[in-house]
């Protein structure tokens, strides 16, 4: 089973200014998160961010925050507890009522429902707290969750790795930034191939 860009959304969890200095391998982790967000933008994959208690931990890294469509400020460790799921599911289209001047219902075009993107590619910090709890809740909410391991970390390597073990056991797919990029593209003939290659080299 490969990732499909048309079915994917990217969620970037808590790459915050006051948190990142304490994170194991923080520069590489943040660079991969920014790379993921840029690749997602090239391929029209929606990008969402979260920030844990931003009044205490500060905002997300500015470059990363600028690449997100919206950023959810939260107090719960799981962003799903604070409405992330509503962002990830398209809103239901209201039924259009007719009036005397409109076409008869059988001649009206049905409203196009926005396509569901049920595959969530997720990365963030801390892997064993906010990322883990968000991902587990999304799995419970019947999203397909793919965790980008080289864009995730915790203050310690042991906590990060324990999170990956638990996520894999819960049914999440564990991938890397380049795995996501090349699966979203599928072919070197994709029009975005050169732009994407410049980001991964």
Give the pLDDT of residue 200: 81
Per DSSP, helices labelled H in 67-188 are: 84-88, 132-140, 157-169, 177-185
Q: What are the C-alpha distances in Å from 154 to residues 21, 22, 150?
A: 11, 8, 12
Whether 59 is covered by a domain: the verdict is yes
CA distance 15 to 59: 8
Q: What percent of the chain has pLDDT over 90?
A: 79
Domain of 191, CATH number, reads 3.40.50.850
As for how many domains the chain has, the answer is: 1
- The mean pLDDT of 190-194, rounded to a whole number, is 88
Whether 125 is covered by a domain: the verdict is no
Whether 127 is covered by a domain: the verdict is no
Whether 53 is covered by a domain: the verdict is yes
Instruction: Report pLDDT digits (tens) over 64-115.
Output: 999 999 999 999 999 999 999 999 997 666 555 555 555 665 565 555 555 6
Whether 35 is covered by a domain: the verdict is yes
H or E segment and range at residue 30? helix 26-42
Average confidence score pLDDT of the chain:
91
Structural domain boundaries enclosing 156:
5-88+115-120+139-200
């Amino acid at each position: 089973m490969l990732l499909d860009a048309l079915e994917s959304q990217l969620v970037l969890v808590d790459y915050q200014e006051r948190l990142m200095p304490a994170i194991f391998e923080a520069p590489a982790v943040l660079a991969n998160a920014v790379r993921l967000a840029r690749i997602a933008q090239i391929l029209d994959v929606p990008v969402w961010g979260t920030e844990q208690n931003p009044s205490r931990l500060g905002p997300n890294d500015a470059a990363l925050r600028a690449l997100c469509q919206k950023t959810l400020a939260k107090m719960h460790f799981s962003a799903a507890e604070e409405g992330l799921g509503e962002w990830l599911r398209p809103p239901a289209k209201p039924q259009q009522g007719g009036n005397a001047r409109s076409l008869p219902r059988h001649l009206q075009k049905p409203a196009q429902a926005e396509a569901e993107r049920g595959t969530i590619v997720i990365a963030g910090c801390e892997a064993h707290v906010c990322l883990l709890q968000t991902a587990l809740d999304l799995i419970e909410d019947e999203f397909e969750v793919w965790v980008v391991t080289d864009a995730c970390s915790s203050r310690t390597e042991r906590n990060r790795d324990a999170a990956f073990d638990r996520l894999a056991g819960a049914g999440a797919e564990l991938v890397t930034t380049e795995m996501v990029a090349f699966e979203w593209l599928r072919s070197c003939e994709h029009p975005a191939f050169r732009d994407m290659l410049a980001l991964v080299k």
